[in-house]
Structure 1
Amino acid sequence: MKGLLAVGALTLILSFSLKSQISQPAETLSSKKLIRDFFETAMNYPEKSIEAKEEGKVLVGLTVSKSGTCNNFYIIKGVSPALDAEALRLSKKILWKPAFENGQPVDAEATLEVPFNIKHYKRRKGLSATSELIFNPNLMDTSGVIYIFAQLESRPKPLLNDKYRNLTNYISEILIYPETAKTAGIQGTVKLDFVIEEDGNTSNIRVATSVGGGCDQEAIRILQSIRWMPGRKDEKQVRCASTFEVTFLLSDKKQQNIPNRQSGGL
């Protein structure tokens, strides 16, 4: 009997270990670093919180469904009502991949940490070339729906300094070919998927086609430097899915870039 119990216990332990190895937690589509970058760029730090010197990290809990949609957002660890509300707003912008168990998608709990630092916030806003740009909140769609270009009345447009003729010219002027890629003779086109938010910021950036050698990071740097005039639907500024491409070509001529070949979906 003892032998049977021991075998049964061992089988249970092995089964539990195997299940733990197969299980995969829910993950954000974008990397942790890019999410932090988005939080810093898109954050609306409440003026009263700045005056009161309220800072800290808000921990947000949420449920990621097996379809990848998110709901049941709540505060696990807050700082103040105003900062907690802003943390919830930002967290709802992040897209997720569902958790998997035994090869099947399942509902799962997840968390996001939103840091609030007044010094970092002021520095980031000071560096932003479009920090003075203000969109009317009443014209922004708050449903959270992400549209494709075919559904829009007007497509988003990059907001660039007048000295740049167009987006292609802008990319050509600021692109820095990574030394690692040069040395290794790496060429190719980096394709990024992302979302243009209703306030013109970019979110959920991820690499769809990688080149390597630092080219992916350079393409991301360029995309992050651009603010957009949002797309419009039903006279509202809305979220929309887009793609951004930068071609890295080694030649004696100026590097050629193929920017912003935008798709109709994520």
Structure 2
Amino acid sequence: MKRVLFIAVMIPLSLQLTAQSVSTLQDTARIYTEVDVNPKFPGGLKAFDSYIDSNSVKILKADHTSGIVIALVLIERDGKVTMPKIVKSLTHATDSAAIYLLNNSPLWKPAFKNGLPVRSRWPAVVRFNGAQYTQGENNTEGKIIKPKYVEVTVDEPNPQNSVDPKKIYKMYEQAPEFPGGIEKFALYLKQNFNLPPNSNGIKGRVILSFVVELDGSLTDVRVARGLSPDIDKEAIRVISKGPKWHPGIWNSKPVRIAFLTHIDMPINP
């Protein structure tokens, strides 16, 4: 998988960068498709099926179609299910019910990457069995006597796999990247960053925010956290005058992405 952020460790007249120094600052927004530990519904697959069975009767009619709906969901770092998208449809009613039940499901155990919880894509298989309803008025075990029909609509306003070319996204499937990757980025900084006079001894980190446009150009370059006016100004200059980046990807298409990178400055005396 490609790295998301870059660190440039600067000393007077030189810059050094190592693979081990890659920051995880932006990883909280990254969506992983390859993880070390998969996300999991609390209790496992049988518990998930039980959750669907016990709740689908509340929103589907008794004669609903039986079968499988597959939805691609985003499991957040706290286990919340978001952004379900139907990838295998059954009927409009069951598709709508699947979206509703996934959006309202208990918190999952999130995926883990390198020992940390991460956001991840996961295909959720929602099985709809023939509904069974308890007959009669007595309901001492708390079973559902009859279905309570609920009007459910699919809460996906945009067609699947569509992107808005004007929207600035804060999440991505593939991060924007400096051409050539992290090593080329470090080399570019080494060759082009001009250490301002009287900046020796300043230690810390300049965090830069910017938008990576569809064509890879950078706009709205700003200092999110600075060190000194001179260093901040030079950081903006060197990032702004650099080559175009490879744009970020969302739904398999290039999109405008709000991105962060930073430059660490341990200045030797």
Q: How high is the TM-score relative to the length of structure 2? A: 0.36
- Answer 1 or 2: which has greater helix percent: 1
Task: Name the structure, 1 or 2, with higher relative contact order (CA <8 Å, separation 6+).
Answer: 2
Give the TM-score, by structure 1 length: 0.36
